[in-house]
Chain A
Amino acid sequence: MRLKWKMTLASLKMFFRQREAILWTVLFPLFVIILFSFIKFDGLGRMHLGIANEAGGRAGALTEALQSVKTFEIFEGTRESELRELEKGERDVVLIIPESFNPALAGSVTAFADVEAKPREAQLASLVLQRALDELTFHQAPNANRLLLKTEPVKTRNLTYIDFLIPGVLSMAIMQMGIFGVAFSFVSLKKRGILRRLWVTPINPGDFIIAQISTRVIAILIQMVLMIGVGMLFLNLHFVGNPLSIVVIGLLGAVVFLGFGFSLAGISKSEDQVAPLANLISLPMMLLSGVFFSRSNLPGVLHAITGFFPLTYLADAMRSVAIDGATLFQVGPQLAGLAAWGVVSVFIAARMFRWE
């Protein structure tokens, strides 16, 4: 035990004295987050309008009219589901058309919006909506009473792009630490004969591997604290997750990607061989696993395929827990996916890993 601890300590010293490694594996993800926080993706695009139509066909003309309004991207659902989406920040405004709605009679519909967090959206939406209602009544019966729009202010969590981004980048950082952090350093130890020098001592190879893994895991934990901490302190990250669940997910992700790292270290003889392989594995995931942008915009086949990527499972689980406060049980499918990848990657690593 003492030896494992001493070796981990030595290995941590080496790790944190390598400025380039720290720069790329720890600080770079942080830079990415801070950089992206300056870009206001939230201000782009159309306003998300949720409609809960409880009046059925009687409101058909209204919803049709709203579909043609270019300002809105329309989502339809039940009152509960749309209000929940509003609360999460997925909708800017939610319009409830009550069962009693009848374009021929006087009455009211209600629009919910967080007027404090999104005053512009709320104001604009209520103008456009009232206008749509007016046109509807005028069109149907010019003398009918006016249909009124009631605006209900609600308090939402007002999730922003940062809330999407940080759990994603954190997952990406775990991947990079596992794949690049392990593969490069091991191949270099192999190539330079440092491992041979170790094997003429009575060292137990298992102890050495454990020390190497512990070092990466500790680095990953530091990274998690750092990123979530910076996010909460400076970037208004709405972190509501259970930190312990985040750690469990992070460790499961670490197992998967450390497995990849050791597999690559086993296959490759030199750094030149590691680099393309490591990039081949990590780049598609970085771009397509929903780290920076939601996968929902991907075309069907690609969407289906990327759903099986280990980084997708990791990022989705991380995000659900961190931002939506999901329990480990609720992200069970993602954890199962990760665990399956973990079995695969550890198996390959055990088969492929070579000391010489």
Chain B
Amino acid sequence: MAEEILTVSNLIKRYGDLVAVNGVSFAVLRQEIFGILGPNGAGKTTTLETIETLRPIEGGEIAVNGIDVRRNPQAVKRIIGVQLQSSTFFDKLNLVELLSLFGELYGRTVDPLALLDEVELRDRAKEYVGNLSGGQKQRFSIAAALVNEPLVIFLDEPTTGLDPQARRHLWGVIRRIRSEGKTIVLTTHYMDEAEYLCDRVAIMDRGNIIALDAPHRLVTQLLENGFKKEKIQHLANLEDVFLSLTGHVLREE
């Protein structure tokens, strides 16, 4: 599990005077769930989209499974799966048709229903994406990212805007996909999500990575440095109250 599947070294991206990504380097290990955290504008999405071949590389190197993104973006596209931040799909194609079409883009004949099973959407197979709930849309978006059996899957804020049940459900889906041997790189604003899902996280701010380690080790380091939380630690939080009252069962609006 020590093999590096994604390496980013000294990545630089500027928008005019603004330096969005300022010499970022990190490596993601095979079958890892790797989180990129940070406030808005920290450079998370830019970093992700550059790896995904959507933005040109201005400085630095990126390699996915040993393939240079700058030199061979087409080959990289074939081995990655992507969920964009605001994933939208064609209006008037149902889920099965969309997955078949996306399969065709990779020259593959896919089994759409099996993919929908993976994200528990088989019962919505004939729906248009527009008729799905927020959580279902995100899950479909993940199914669409799986059509080419990618080695690495990128999820940009997959749970933003979802209710607690839908978030937890999606966590289950993400973990299951990892257990099938895939590597997952995600961004999130939710620390509990990062703590629960991620093997390691990189914290970005102003285009730099300012910390990179396993969540529990980052916490330990902070405590060793003498940090004390002001409030008394409760054994439960409001989310636990909410979930114990409303249950963990997924709601589909």
- Enumerate chain A interface residues (CB-CB to B < 8 A): 2-3, 6-7, 10, 13-14, 17-18, 192-194, 196-203
Is the CB of B166 closer than 8 A to any CB of chain A?
A: no
Contact A202 B77 (CB under 8 A): yes
Interface residues on B, range: 20 to 34
Q: Are A201 and B106 in contact (CB under 8 A)?
A: yes
Residue of B nearest to A188 (CB): B91
Contact across chains for A194 and B93 when beta carbons are under 8 A apart:
no
Q: Does B171 contact A (CB under 8 A)?
A: no
Docked-complex contact A14 and B93, CB < 8 angstroms = yes
User: B92, A13: Cβ atoms under 8 Å?
Assistant: yes
Determine if A193 and B88 form an interchain contact, defined as CB atoms under 8 angstroms apart: yes
A79 CB → nearest B CB, Å: 60
Complexed CA–CA distance, A18 and B92 (Å): 7
Question: Is B161's beta carbon under 8 Å from chain A?
Answer: no
Minimum C-beta distance from B156 to chain A (A):
11
User: Is B217 engaged at the interface, CB distance under 8 Å to the other chain?
Assistant: no
Q: How far is the CB of A13 from chain B (nearest CB, A)?
A: 6
> Is the pair A197, B92 in contact by a Cβ cutoff of 8 Å?
no
B97 within 8 A of A: yes
A200-B53, A200-B77, A202-B106 given as contacts; is B90 within 8 A of A194 (CB)? Answer: yes
Which residues of the partner chain B approach A10 to less than 8 Å between Cβ atoms? 90, 93, 97, 101
Q: Do A192 and B88 contact each other (CB < 8 Å), given the known contacts A3-B105, A7-B101, A14-B93?
A: yes
A-B pairs with the 5 shortest C-beta distances?
Answer: A17-B92, A201-B105, A200-B82, A14-B92, A192-B88
A202–B76 Cα distance when bound, in Å, is: 9
Contact count A vs B, C-beta below 8 Å: 60
Residue in A closest to B73 when the chains form the complex, CB atoms: A202
Q: Please indicate the chain A residues that have their CB under 8 angstroms from the CB of B102 in the complex.
A: 201
Taking CB atoms, residues of chain B closer than 8 Å to A200 are: 52-54, 77, 80, 82, 84
Report the Cα distance A197→B102, complex, angstroms.
Answer: 10
Chain A residues contacting B106 (CB-CB under 8 Å) are 201-202
Alpha-carbon distance A285/B65, docked complex (angstroms): 56
Pick from A3, A17, A193, A194: contact of B107, CB below 8 A.
Answer: A3
Contact A194 B89 (CB under 8 A): yes
Closest B residue to A197 by CB, please name it. B84
Q: Which residues of A contact B74 (CB under 8 A)?
A: 202
1/0 contact trace for B51-68 toward A, CB 8 Å? Answer: 011100000000000000
CB-CB < 8 A to B78: which residues of A?
A: 202
> A200-B53, A201-B77 are known contacts. Are A7 and B104 too (CB-CB below 8 A)?
yes
Residues of chain B lying within 8 A (CB to CB) of residue A192: 86, 88
Give min CB distance, B117 to chain A, whole Å.
Answer: 22
Determine whether the beta carbon of A202 is less than 8 Å from that of B105.
Answer: yes
| A6, A7, A10 interface centre (most CB from chain B within 10 Å) | A10
Among residues of A, the one whose C-beta sits closest to the C-beta of B81 is: A200
What separation, in Å, do the CA atoms of A86 and B175 have in the docked complex? Answer: 82
> CB within 8 A of A6: which of B80, B82, B87, B101?
B101
CB distance from A10 to the nearest CB of B (A): 5
